[in-house]
Amino acid sequence: MYGEKKTILKSLNQNLLILLCNVESLNTHITDVDILLASYNPQIFILNGVGSAVRRKIAFPNYSTISQPGTSAFGGVMILCHKSIKYKIIKKDLIYILIEVESTPESIYIGAIYVPPQSIPPFQLLSKHLNKRFYIFANYNAKHTDWKCSKNNTSDVHLQNSLESTENELIIPSKATSKRSNAIIHFGITQDASGWISEVLDEGTSEHFPVLIQSSLTIDGTSTFRKANWKTFNFFLWLLNEYWLSVVYNLDEQTFFNLFSAFLSALWDRCSTNEKICDYRPPWPPHLVLLAKSTNRARRKYRRNRSLVSLQNYIILKEIFSTERSHYLHIKMEQKTKYMMHDQNIWKFAKPSFHCVTTPFRGLKYGNEKINDSEKIVEILANHYERHISESDFDMDNIAHTESIINYNQIKYAPNIPLDPISITKVTNEWNKFKAKKVIR
């Protein structure tokens, strides 16, 4: 087990990869789709113009199919989602599919639209998601000179006016997507296109080139982290303790430390496993992680040089990080509380008191009698807990209680005057009084 070198897996995060293609009847281009899926392995494959293949319910290995019939024989849209990603269907319309995909740092909305030639894009559908992170990909059949088309058409004029009014952006390739002309009619619309890269692929037998789109978003369903078994690590150190004590006197300083460092690194490697991050608590948001790293970096810098500037920088970053973390935890707790108060969600967190192996509850023993009436049991328990959470009752016949109440009232009604500063000498003298006295024998 420990003789072979183990490959250390790091985060398997990868950018979200999307393929967009107009197949012009999927029944005649299934082979093209299979080849593209095997060659590029996208997380999402958007197909326009699938035609009557929607009714056949065609399935592809490792992909879930979401389809919507169109208004013509060559209409219809289909989205293939890889089974490694988590998604849910938000809306399906006549020429429109919208899904929500879990990504890092937050979920996004991805849509597919098929716009027939000489038709206007459905702007009323796009306007419903202006306040969300949406990415709508389609064969818009919109031609404009701004994206290297020879001329403008009616669909493009309306699309250009919509982009100017909503301040949306295009995820558009730099080459023509049609084999019959120099037109670019396959692209995406979003609020922010920064970090998105599109490439036209010279593949397939359709009259339209497929477009490969790589996003700046990551899918973290297969992320892993290194988890060390420190008990095993310490056990091996204890076993080899005598060996290293004998080696240290037979080697020079630099050779020993290089050898010992390599040994610790290899031992840590062999005593570690790579666990899926989804099995543990969800990570902090990216901005909080960056703040934590900056705070730790500032602390290490201060420990190295011990300068006043480094100390002040560390204290400032630490306060900012503490404030942001408290704010994040507060919002998270409020959301959890709000969810628990809705409907009967409290029972998703509350644990049952009686399990399947617990003896049946036959009554409550109260004094010398056994009560079986449920209303009396509830009343007794309510009085019991009400007494424990109510204000404490003082025994006025108890001298200690009376003195405590008198002292408390004196402090309560005393004027709010700041106390005199106490010198460190007085504090030291008071602490010295508690020291154990030396007994002379």
- For residues 231 and 260, membership in a common domain is answered with yes
In contact, 18 and 42? CB cutoff 8 Å: yes
Pair (204, 245) in one structural domain: no
Residue 16 has pLDDT above 90, yes or no: no
Residue 23 lies in a domain: yes
In a domain, 73, yes or no: yes
Helix axes 308-341, 286-305, angle to 10 degrees: 150
| Most confident of the following: 119-123, 321-325, 359-363 | 321-325
Q: Tokens 């025994």 belong to which residue?
A: 395
Q: Are residues 160 and 251 in the same domain?
A: no
Q: 153 pLDDT band (50/70/90 cuts)?
A: low
Q: Are the C-beta atoms of residues 49 and 75 closer than 8 Å to each other?
A: yes
Task: State yes or no: pLDDT of 11 exceeds 50.
Answer: no
Q: Produce one character per residue of 70-94: b if its CB has 16 or more CB atoms within 10 Å, e if not.
A: beeebbbbbbbbbeebebeeeeeee
Give yes or no for residue 155 having a pLDDT over 90: no
Domain count, the chain: 4
Q: Is residue 423 part of a domain?
A: no
Instruction: Specify whether 171 is located in the same domain as 148.
Output: yes
Same domain, 59 and 151: yes
Helices (H) and strands (E) in the chain, counts: 12, 16
- Asked if 78 contacts 44 with a C-beta cutoff of 8 angstroms, the reply is no
Same domain, 78 and 146: yes
The better pLDDT of the pair 332, 367 is held by 332
Q: How confident is the model at residue 356 (pLDDT cuts 50, 70, 90)?
A: low
Write the pLDDT tens digit of every residue in 274-302.
776 656 656 677 788 888 889 999 998 99
Same domain, 307 and 388: no
Answer yes or no: are the C-beta atoms of 101 and 145 closer than 8 Å: no
Last residue of a domain, one of 261, 279, 297: 279
Residue 8 has pLDDT above 50, yes or no: no
Instruction: Assess whether pLDDT exceeds 60 at residue 10.
Output: no
Nearest partner of 147 among 109, 176, 181, judged by Cα: 176
Residue 424, domain member (yes or no): no
| Residue found by looking up tokens 């010992």 in the block | 260
Q: Are residues 116 and 235 in the same domain?
A: no
Q: Is 134 exposed, middle or buried (0-12, 13-18, 19+ CB in 10 A)?
A: buried
Q: Is the peptide bond before 105 cis (omega within 30 degrees of 0)?
A: yes
The confidence score (pLDDT) of residue 61 equals 77
Q: What is the mean pLDDT of the chain?
A: 77
DSSP reduced 3-state for 304 = helix
In the numeric block, the tokens 């060659």 are attached to: 39
**pTM of model > 0.85:** no
- Give the model's confidence band at 336: pLDDT under 50 very low, under 70 low, under 90 confident, else very high: confident
- 98 and 200 part of one domain: yes
Strands 63-68 and 77-82: antiparallel
Of 171, 197, 219, which one is at a domain's C-terminal end?
219
Looking at residue 360, its pLDDT comes to: 63
Residues 66 and 46: their CA atoms lie apart, in Å, by 10
Which among 93-97, 157-161, 328-332, 338-342 has the top mean pLDDT?
A: 328-332
Phi, then psi, of 214 in degrees rounded to 5 = -110, 130
190 plus 327 within the same structural domain: no
The whole-angstrom distance between residue 135's C-alpha and the CA centroid of its chain comes to 20
Can you tell me the distance from the alpha carbon of 148 to that of 133, in angstroms, rounded to the nearest whole number? 27
Calculate mean pLDDT across residues 94-102: 83
Query: Distance between CA 138 and CA 95 in Å, rounded?
Result: 10
- Strand pairing class (108-114; 96-101): antiparallel
Q: Is residue 1 part of a domain?
A: no
Which of 167, 197, 219 is the endpoint of a domain?
A: 219
Residue 352 domain-assigned (yes or no): no
Q: Flag the least confident range among 264-273, 354-363, 396-405.
A: 354-363
Which residue has tokens 């790579």? 274
Tokens for 271?
């005593």
What pairs with residue 134 in β-bridges? 109
For 237, the token pair is 């150190």
pLDDT at position 7 is 40
- Asked, for residue 90, whether it belongs to a domain, the answer is yes
Report which of 162, 116, 139 is spatially closest to residue 48, judged by C-alpha positions: 139
Residue 336 phi/psi, 5° resolution?
-65, -40
- Pick 180 or 254 by higher pLDDT: 254
Confirm whether 119 is domain-assigned: yes
Closest CA relative to residue 208, chosen from 365, 43, 20: 20
CA 90/CA 93 separation, integer angstroms: 10
Containing structural domain, residue 385: 364-412
pLDDT at position 425 is 79
Q: For residue 316, what pLDDT is reported?
A: 93
Joined together, the tokens standing for residue 308 give: 């006043």
Does position 42 have pLDDT exceeding 60, yes or no? yes
Task: From 113, 205, 204, 200, select the one nearest 148 (Cα to Cα).
Answer: 200
> How many Å apart are CA 100 and CA 82, to the nearest integer?
13
pLDDT digits (tens, 9 = 90+) for 383-407: 877 777 666 777 778 888 888 888 8
Report residue 1 CA to chain centroid gap.
34
Let me know whether 400 and 274 are in one domain.
Answer: no
Q: What is the CATH number of the domain that holds 164?
A: 3.60.10.10
* Residue 108 pLDDT level (bands cut at 50, 70, 90): confident
Per-residue pLDDT band at 124 (split at 50, 70, 90): low
User: Nearest 10 degrees: CA dihedral of 189, 194, 195, 198?
Assistant: 40
Same-domain pairing of 150 and 69: yes
